[in-house]
Chain A
Amino acid sequence: MGEFKVHRVRFFNYVPSGIRCVAYNNQSNRLAVSRTDGTVEIYNLSANYFQEKFFPGHESRATEALCWAKGQRLFSAGLNGEIIEYDLQALDIKYSMDAFGGPIWSMAASPSGSQLLVGCEDGSVKLFQINPDKIQFERNFDRQKSRILSLSWHPSGTHIAAGSIDYISVFDIKSGSAVHKMLVDRQYMGVSKRKCIIWGVAFLSDGTVISVDSAGKVQFWDSATGTLVKTHLVANADVQSIAVSDQEDSFVVGTAEGTVFHFQLVSVTSNSSEKQWVRTKPFQHHTHDVRTVAHSPTALISGGTDTHLVIRPLMEKVEVKNYDAALRKITFPHRRLISCSKKRQLLLFQFSHHLDLWRLGSTVATGGKTSGKFLVPGKHGDTLPLSKDADHLLQLKTKGPENIICSCVSPCGSWIAYSTASRFFLRRLNYEHDNLSLHRVSKMPACLRSAVQIMFSEDSTKLFVASNQGSLHILRLLEGSFKHLHTFQAQSGTVESMCLLAVSPDGNWLAASGTSAGVHVYSVKRLKIFEYSIPDKQYTEWSRAIQKQGFHHHWLQRDTPITHIGFHPKRPAHILLHDAYMFCIIDKSLPLPNDKTLLYNPLPPTNESDVIRRRTAHAFKISKKYKPLLFMDLLDEGTLVAVERPLDDIIAQLPPPIKKKKFGT
C-alpha cells in the first residue's frame, strides 16, 4: 500500500450553525431541518440518513417554523414576517408571501394538509388556504394580547391551541374566536418574576392539550373545560419543544439543558384499561438547548444549538434489531466544503460568506517531534516540526446576504470558482514571485446562474458546472477568460444531486451521479460502488466480484456517508475514500475480505511472519487515526492531506449552555 506523509490540518475554523426546526414527513420518510443561518436541509431517512437536498441560507431568513403540507410541499416562516414555499425539484424558493402580521413565530399545517395557520408577533392567528400553485390568505382569528409562540391543530381540524406568554388559548376554527383561555402559573410551587413563555403546545384527539413552558413544566389541560389536569416538572430550565407521535401514545420533549424526555401512555395497572402519561426515558445527547424535536414512527429526532442532529430509534418500535437501531449523530455536512489544488499545495475552505485560501506548510526534517500541524509517519506515527508554517493567502468575501453554495479551486491553483443562489463567480489567480493577485472574470453567461456543484478538470482547462435546473455546463478556460463549450440538458426532469465526482485524469470523461452524461456512476449513498469502465462499457470484473461476495458486514454498517473519493494517478488500482470517521484505500489487486476477517486492520505487528501478513491483508485498508475528518486527498505520490475538525473547537464557539451542577465544581 505504501507509506505516506500526512499534512494534518486543523486550522479550518468551521462552525456549523445551530438547528432551529425539524419537520418529519411520514409519507416519504424524509426530514427537513432548518438552521439558524437560514439553510434548510432535507435528509432521506431511509437511505441511511443521507442529506440529499439543501437550500442555501440567507441572512434575512431566520426561520422560526417549518412544516410539511399535503403533496410533499415544504413551508417555512420566520422573523421577517414572510411565509416561504420551497421547490424541492428545482432546489429553489418558489415564492415568499408576507403575512402582514409582523414577525411570525409559529406555523402549523392542518391535519388534512390543505390549510396553514401562522401565529404572529402582534398576537393574531392567520389562516391561509393552500392552493395548488400558491397560498392564499383566508381570515384572521381573534387577536390576542401577546405574541403567539406555538400552535397546534386538533386532529379533526375543528379547534386549535395557541400558546402565548403566560396563557394558552383554544380557538374554534369555524367562528375564529377564542373558546378558552387557560392561564399558566409562572413557576411550579414558587414565586417567579419572569414571564412564563409557552414554547410548545400539542393537541390530542381526546381534547387534551399538552403544553411545555419556560418554567420547566409539562402540563396537561382539558380543552373542554379549560382546566389543568396534571403537571410534571421535568427541568430547572426551559422546556423548549414537543412532538407527538401519530398514534398519540407517546411524545417527546426537549429541554434547554440538552435532555430529551420520552413520555408514554401506559396503563395504570397491568390489566386495567385506564391509562396515564408517564415519563419513561431521559436521553442526554446534547450539550446545549434542544430547540426542536420530532417523532417518527420508530425514532425520536432532536436538534438544537449544539448543531448535532440526533436520531434515536426506539427499541420497542424497531422491528429488526441490527446496527440500524443505534444512535445516529449527524454533525458535519454531507457535502464538500474543502477543495484542494495539488500542484501548488493549496486548500480552499468554504464558509457561509467567505472563502479562505491557504498554502500548506512544509518540512525538511525527518526526526521525531510533535507539532500541531504537521504529522509525518516516518516511522509510522512520528511527527515532524514545520519548517514553514501554513500560510493564509487569500480571503474572498461575498457581498450580499446569500450564503455560498459550492466552491472549487483548480488543480493548478489558478482559478477559483464559487456560486451563491443567484450568481456564479469565477476568479483568476496570478502568482508572481510570492505575490498573489486576483482578477475577476466578468460577464458570465446568462445560463450560469447558480451552481449546485463545481469541478475543474485535471489539467485545469475545463470547468464543469452543475446548475440547479438540472443541466451541466462545460466551459473551456483560457488564459484570462473562458469560452462556453457545451451544455448537457436535464435528463427527463431529474436534477443533479449533490455529489459530482471526480473527473478522470485524461479529462475526457466526467463522473456525475444522477445523470447519464457521465460514464462512471458511483452511487455511494447506497453503500455500493459500481465501476463502469469506459472502454468496455460494462461493469468491470472487480465490481462484479464485490457484488457477488457482498461487502464485509462492518463496511455496510458505516453510518456516515462517504464524502470524497480520490484516485491515485500512478496506481489505478487504488481508490482512496473517506467519510467522517475513517479513510480507506481500496486496493483492487488484493483479495477481497470475507466476513470473518477483521475489517479494521491496522498495520500488523512486525514480529509476525510474512506469510500471516499476506494472508490477513485484504483490499480494504482502513485507518481511523484522524477523526473527525472533513476532507482527505492525495497531494502527490507520497503525501496525503487530512483536514480535521475536533468537536471541542466547535463547542467552544457556541452560545453558552445552561449551568449544570457537577460534583466537585
Chain B
Amino acid sequence: MVQLRPRASRAPASASAMVDEGQPASEEAEHGLLLGQPSSGAAAEPLEEDGDGDDDLDDEAPEELTFASAQAEARAEERRVRETARRDKTLLKEKRKRREELFIEQKKRKLLPDTVLQKLTTASQTNIKKSPGKLKEDKSQKKNEECEKGNESKKVKEKIQSIGQNKSYLARRLKDQDLRDSRQQAAKAFIQNSLYGPGTNRTTGTQKKQNAKRFKRRWMVRKMKTSKK
C-alpha cells in the first residue's frame, strides 16, 4: 500500500510496484499544473521534468528519501499487518476453544455417572438373554426415573440388559414401545378405514329411517302431481 504524498515529494517505490503507472505519471508531467496529486497507485518516480517546469511551492524538489527509511517503513507496515492477523487468529482460536469446552461440559452433564456406566459395560459383556415380551413398561419408566433422580438429567434411553443376577425387572427402549404402538394404531386405522371409511357403502338404522322418510315424501308429492293431472 502506498500512501498518498504531495506531488513535490517523491513517493517511494512500494512493495507492489505498479509497472504501468509510469506512463500516466509522465502524461501528468506534460500537462503541468492541471494535474494535482498523483494517483494513489502511482509509484511516482522522481520526475525531473516537474522540477524544470514549475517554480511553485508545490513544485519543490522532491524530498530525498533514503532507501533504508522506506524499507523500514515498509517493514513496519508488514509487521503491523501480520500482528493484526495474528491477533485475529488467536482471538478466533480462543473463541473456538471456549465453545468446545462448553460442549464437553454439557455432554458430561447428559451422561450417567461413571459408576452406572461401568456396571453397564460389565453387564453387556455377560451373556444374559433378554426374555421376550414379558416386560412391563412402568418398570422401565421407574428405572429411568431412578436414574433421573441420580443426576438431574433428562430421560435416559439406553438399552439395558438385566443388571446382575436379579431378573426381577427388564427395561426396554421407550422408543421401541412407541414405535410398536404407532404401528398398531396404523394397522387399526387401516382396517377401520377399509371397512368403514369413506367409499364404503355403510348405513346405520337411523340413516335408513331418514332415507325412508325422504322417499315417502317424494313419492307422495309425485302421486299428488299425477293425480292432479
A residues sitting closer than 8 Å to B (CB atoms) are 62, 79-82, 96-98, 102-103, 105, 121, 147, 193-195, 197, 214, 236-238, 256, 289, 652, 655-659, 664-665
How distant is the Cα of A655 from the Cα of B215 in the complex, in angstroms? 24
Decide if B187 is an interface residue (CB 8 Å cutoff).
yes
B184 contacts A655, C-beta separation under 8 Å: no
- The reply to whether A194 and B199 form a contact with Cβ atoms under 8 Å apart is yes
Q: Do A97 and B184 touch across chains, with their CB atoms under 8 A apart? A: no
**Interface code B198-212, partner A: CB below 8 Å = 1, 0 otherwise?**
011111110010011
User: Which of B20-28, B98-106, B118-126, B188-196 forms contacts with chain A?
Assistant: B188-196
Question: Is B132 a contact partner of A665 (Cβ separation < 8 A)?
Answer: no
Q: Confirm or deny: B133 has a beta carbon within 8 angstroms of a beta carbon on chain A.
A: yes
Instruction: Choose from A82, A195, A657 the contact partner of B203 (Cβ within 8 Å).
Output: A657
Q: Are A656 and B180 interface neighbours, CB within 8 A?
A: no
The verdict on B183 contacting chain A, using a C-beta distance below 8 Å, is: yes
CB of A597, distance to nearest CB on chain B (Å): 44
Residue total for B at the interface (Cβ-Cβ under 8 A): 23
**Which one of B195, B196, B201, B211 contacts A665 once the chains associate, using CB atoms below 8 Å?**
B211
B188's nearest neighbour on chain A, judged by CB, is A79
Which listed residue (B183, B205, B211) contacts A121, Cβ 8 A?
B183
> CB distance A656 to B203 under 8 Å?
yes
Residues of chain B within 8 A of A665, CB atoms compared: 208, 211-212, 215
Q: Which residues does chain A contribute within 8 Å of B211, judged by CB atoms?
A: 665
Partner of A97, one of B132, B199, B202: B132
A96-B133, A665-B208, A665-B215 are contacts. A657–B202 as well, Cβ < 8 Å?
Answer: yes
Closest 8 CB pairs of A and B: A103-B187, A659-B203, A656-B202, A656-B204, A102-B183, A659-B201, A665-B212, A194-B199
Cα A237 to Cα B194 in complex, Å, equals 11
Chain B contact surface mostly: helix
Return chain A residues, CB-CB under 8 Å to B190.
147
Interface SS majority for chain A: loop
Q: Is the CB of A79 within 8 A of B184?
A: yes
A sample of 14 cross-chain residue pairs with beta-carbon separation below 8 angstroms, ordered by A number, consists of A79-B188, A80-B180, A81-B180, A82-B133, A97-B133, A102-B180, A103-B183, A121-B183, A121-B186, A194-B199, A237-B200, A256-B195, A657-B203, A658-B202
Are the CB atoms of A121 and B187 closer together than 8 Å?
A: yes
Which of chain A's residues has its CB closest to B194's CB?
A197
Residue of B208, B212, B215 ringed by the most chain A CB atoms within 10 A:
B208
* Residues of the B chain whose Cβ atoms lie less than 8 Å from the Cβ of A81: 180, 183-184
Which residue of chain A has the shortest Cβ distance to B212 in the bound complex? A665
Instruction: Report B's interface with A, CB cutoff 8 A.
Output: 132-133, 180, 183-184, 186-188, 190, 194-196, 199-205, 208, 211-212, 215
Q: Is the CB of B132 within 8 A of A103?
A: no
Residues on B with C-beta less than 8 A from A237 are 200-201
Please judge, given known A-B contacts A82-B133, A98-B133, whether A238 and B203 are in contact too, CB under 8 Å.
Answer: no
Q: Which listed residue (A80, A238, A659) contacts B184, Cβ 8 A? A: A80
A664 to B211, CA, bound (A): 10
Q: Are A659 and B187 touching (Cβ within 8 A)?
A: no
Is the beta-carbon distance between B132 and A655 smaller than 8 angstroms?
no
Min CB–CB distance A93 → chain B (angstroms): 11
- List the B side residues contacting A289 at CB < 8 Å: 195
CB-CB under 8 A from A147, the residues of chain B are: 187, 190
Chain A min CB distance to B210 (Å):
11
Cα distance A102–B188 in the bound complex, in angstroms: 12
Q: How far is the CA of A96 from the CA of B215 in the complex (A)?
A: 54
Cβ contacts under 8 Å, B195 to chain A: 238, 256, 289
> In this complex, what residue of B is CB-closest to A665?
B212
Q: Which residue of B lies closest to A655 (CB)?
A: B196
Q: What is the CA–CA distance of A193 and B203 in the complex, to the nearest angstrom?
A: 21
Whole-angstrom distance from the CB of A503 to the nearest CB of chain B? 39
Nearest residue (CB) in B for A103 is B187
A148 CB to nearest chain B CB (Å)? 12
Interface centre among B180, B183, B203, B211 (most CB of A within 10 A): B183
Closest to B133 in A: A98
Contacts of B200 in A (CB 8 A): 237, 658
In the docked arrangement, what's the CA distance between A102 and B133, Å?
A: 13
B183's closest neighbor in chain A, by CB? A102
Closest Cβ of chain B: how far from A78's Cβ, in Å? 9
How far apart sit A656 and B195, CA to CA, in the bound complex (Å)?
10
- Complex formed: what's the CA distance from A79 to B201 in Å? 25
- Asked if residues B187 and A658 are in contact (CB atoms below 8 Å), the reply is no
Q: Which residues of A contact B204 (CB under 8 A)?
A: 656
Cα separation A659 to B200 with both chains bound (whole Å): 9
Instruction: Report A-chain residues with C-beta under 8 Å of the C-beta of B133.
Output: 82, 96-98
User: Which residues of the partner chain B approach A655 to less than 8 Å between Cβ atoms?
Assistant: 196
A105–B194 alpha-carbon span in the complex (Å): 14
Measured CB to CB, the closest approach of chain B to A69, in angstroms, equals 20
Residues of A within 8 A of B215 (CB): 664-665
Whole-angstrom CA separation of A664 from B218 in the bound complex: 12
A194 to B212, CA, bound (A): 29
The answer for the CA separation of A97 and B133 in the assembled complex, in Å, is 7
New A-B contacts (14) at CB < 8 Å, excluding given A79-B188, A103-B187: A80-B184, A81-B180, A97-B132, A103-B183, A105-B187, A121-B183, A147-B187, A652-B205, A656-B196, A656-B203, A659-B201, A659-B202, A665-B212, A665-B215
Determine whether the beta carbon of A214 is less than 8 Å from that of B194.
yes
A655 to B188, CA, bound (A): 15
Shortest Cβ distance from residue A278 to the other chain B in the assembled complex, whole angstroms: 27
How near does chain B come to A388, taking the closest CB pair, in angstroms? 33
List residues of chain A with CB within 8 A of the CB of B132. Answer: 97-98
Task: List, in ascending order, chain B residues with CB within 8 A of A194's CB.
Answer: 199
Whole-angstrom CA separation of A209 from B200 in the bound complex: 27
Query: Which of chain B's residues has its CB closest to A97's CB?
Result: B132
Residues of chain A within 8 A (CB-CB) of B184 are 79-81, 103
CB of B6, distance to nearest CB on chain A (Å): 84
Chain A residues closer than 8 Å to B212, beta-carbon distance: 665
Which A residues touch B187, using CB under 8 A?
Answer: 79, 102-103, 105, 121, 147
The residue that A658 contacts in the complex, of B180, B188, B201, with Cβ under 8 A, is B201
Residue of B nearest to A195 (CB): B194
Residues of A within 8 A of B186 (CB): 121
Cβ–Cβ < 8 Å partners of A96 in chain B: 133
Give the distance in Å from the alpha carbon of A587 to the alpha carbon of B13 in the complex.
139
Interface centre among B132, B188, B215 (most CB of A within 10 A): B132
- Considering the chains assembled together, what is the distance between the CA atoms of A63 and B152 in angstroms? 43
A664-B196 Cα distance, complex, nearest whole Å? 25
B214 smallest CB distance to A (angstroms): 10
The CA-CA distance from A81 to B187 in the complex, in Å, is: 11
Within the complex, what minimum Cβ distance (angstroms) separates B183 from chain A? 5
A96 to B205, CA, bound (A): 40
- The interface residues of chain A lying within 8 Å CB-to-CB of B183 are 81, 102-103, 121
Which of chain A's residues have a CB closer than 8 A to the CB of B180? 80-81, 102
* Minimum distance in angstroms from B181 CB to a CB of chain A: 10
Output the nearest chain A residue to B215 by Cβ-Cβ distance. A665
Look across to chain A and name the residue whose beta carbon is closest to the beta carbon of B219: A664
B199: which A residues are within 8 A, CB to CB?
193-194
Complex formed: what's the CA distance from A523 to B187 in Å? 45
Q: B217 to nearest A CB, angstroms?
A: 13
Which residues in B have their C-beta under 8 angstroms from that of A193?
199
Which A residues are in CB contact (< 8 Å) with B196? 655-656
Known pairs A80-B184, A121-B183; A236 contacts B201 (CB<8 A): yes
CB distance from B220 to the nearest CB of A (A): 13
* A237 to B196 alpha-carbon distance, docked (Å): 12
Q: Shortest Cβ distance from B219 into chain A, in angstroms?
A: 9
> Which residue of chain B is the closest to A101 with respect to CB atoms?
B183
What is the bound-complex CA distance between A653 and B186, given in angstroms?
25
Closest to B208 in A: A665
Once bound together, how far apart are the Cα atoms of A62 and B191, in whole Å?
Answer: 12
What separation, in Å, do the CA atoms of A103 and B182 have in the docked complex?
10
Within the complex, what minimum Cβ distance (angstroms) separates B64 from chain A?
90
